[in-house]
Amino acid sequence: MNGFRTLESEAANAAATEDGRTADRPTATDEEPGGPFKAFPSGLHDQLRPFFDNITEEVVQAIRTQIPEYARPTDDTYLQVVHRGVQDALQGFLERMAKPDTDCEPVKATYQRIGRGEADEGRSLDSFQCALRLGARVTWRRINALVDAELLPRNVLAAFGEALFLHLDEMAAATTAGYTEARLHAAGELQQRRTRLIDLLTADPPASAEAISDLARTAQWSVPRRLAVVAIGHGARGAAARPILPPGFLARFDVQPAVLVVPDPEGPGRARAVSGALRGLRAAMGPAVALQEGARSLRWAAEALDLARRGVLADTEMVRCQDHLATLLLFRDEALVEAMTNRHLRPLDGIRPPQRERLAETLLSWLECGHNASEVAHRLAVHPQTVRYRMRQLDELFGDQLHDSGVQFEMQLALRALNLRRAAQSRGEPSGTHHRGSPKASERASKPLRS
């Protein structure tokens, strides 16, 4: 590890003899079986063994007092884990000195468990790396003290330093592996819980509030008072793009359309956060609903996304259902719209297309403007006399129906749907599109007033 480089320099410097010359010693490389452990003279591990209990206690005490994350004087179990980790590391070091080719996998397994424990505790590995560096310094000082006391030969210092840092690097790697494995496992489990939570929030019939709250707690998600569901299609980013989402949002991108759950959608900055995160993607946001009504928000969002794809709704990056309630209602069952069109607009079928479209446009404006010819003329940019002329033609075609308020309402609905469909076709509705209760585009085009 990078944190040990300074200590390695100390080890190299300490290996110099008193007169400045490097002591003769056997050489070994990390690539050789046993690496630097083969450089130790036979029996050195037996000379060191009596001192390792004291070194272990000194390392443990230094870690407990100098690293706040490990200072738990009232947690005996945790202190035992720290003590066991230090003891296993030093004992494994002695065993490798005795048998350089020995298998150190049991010690690595211990440190993999420590890494998993660090992840479970919710800590980063910073504190553990500090503990390793501190343990290395304490051990190195103790070995130097033994050499100064002539209890160990001075010519072993360089080999000892090299072996010590190799051993600690391997322990660090084992800990990192365990830590990464635990984090990935936890992230996978958390995502699975959040995926199940999305399913629960959008279930129809709805799940109970208790079930949602229980799963939300294990998914680490704060339960909001209200939520909205966003249906996400493909956009400029392409099919594989996944946006970076604000904290607290739940998302599934393994379904079509992709689903995003927005907590408290009417809160400050929420709309801006959603639009920013989904920039470049076609999406539709359902209405804000109570916690157990997510299925309704998702259904509306999916329908709005489909209408935007077809061109019925303006194909902006973010369509908000609350801005298009009448259109959503009108296209909820297109078979009913077809029935109204057949029943109330059939008299126009006998008129040739250019004139038929002008009459339909005038009739819709007349209905929307409260039968005011001047307003119709202003809207259509024609002379009021032209409007009156067209209305006489319409009166001849429809007769008394044109003055029945109930029929007028249904005419207006049919004409609005007709306009939306024509707009969609002009934007290039995908060929072969077939939606709930509606004829195919090719079939509609063959009928005078069915777009």
The dihedral region occupied by 322, where left means phi > 0, alpha psi between -120 and 50, and beta the remainder, is alpha
Q: How far apart are CA 154 and CA 21, in angstroms?
A: 12
Torsion, Cα of 448, 416, 289, 203 (10° steps): -10
Give per-residue pLDDT as tens, 225-274: 999 999 998 754 444 457 888 888 999 998 889 999 999 998 888 888 88
Q: How far apart are CA 380 and CA 362, in angstroms?
A: 8
CA distances to 64, 75, 226, 240, 308 from 78, rounded to whole Å, are: 11, 5, 42, 44, 58
pLDDT reported for residue 292? 92
Identify which of 375, 274, 272, 285 has the alpha carbon closest to the alpha carbon of residue 328.
Answer: 285
Give per-residue pLDDT as tens, 40-55: 888 888 888 888 889 8
DSSP 411-423: HHHHHHHHHHHHH
Q: How far apart are CA 55 and CA 114, in angstroms?
A: 20
Owner of token pair 């400045």: 20
CA distances to 129, 191, 272, 282 from 248, rounded to whole Å, are: 31, 13, 15, 21
Q: How far apart are CA 222 and CA 228, in angstroms?
A: 15
Q: How far apart are CA 28 and CA 33, in angstroms?
A: 9
Asked if residue 321 lies in contact with residue 378, where contact means CB atoms within 8 angstroms, the answer is no
Give per-residue pLDDT as tens, 155-169: 888 888 888 888 888
Q: How far apart are CA 5 and CA 134, in angstroms?
A: 13
Asked if residue 212 lies in contact with residue 292, where contact means CB atoms within 8 angstroms, the answer is yes
Beta-sheet strands, E only, within 300-345:
318-320
Q: Mean pLDDT throughout 376-385? A: 91
Identify which of 339, 360, 336 has the alpha carbon closest to the alpha carbon of residue 348.
Answer: 360
pLDDT at 428 over 70: no
Q: How far apart are CA 112 and CA 236, in angstroms?
A: 44
pLDDT confidence band for 444 (50 / 70 / 90): very low
pLDDT reported for residue 105? 77
* Cα atoms in the 13 Å half-sphere on the side-chain side of 47: 14
pLDDT confidence band for 304 (50 / 70 / 90): very high
End-to-end CA separation in angstroms for the chain: 70
Task: Report residue 183 CA to chain centroid gap.
Answer: 15
Asked if residue 337 lies in contact with residue 330, where contact means CB atoms within 8 angstroms, the answer is yes
Asked if residue 21 lies in contact with residue 154, where contact means CB atoms within 8 angstroms, the answer is no
Reading the block at residue 263, the tokens are 């907590």
Q: Mean pLDDT throughout 135-152? A: 87
Percent of the chain with pLDDT over 90: 19
pLDDT at 25 over 80: no
Q: What is the mean pLDDT of the chain?
A: 79
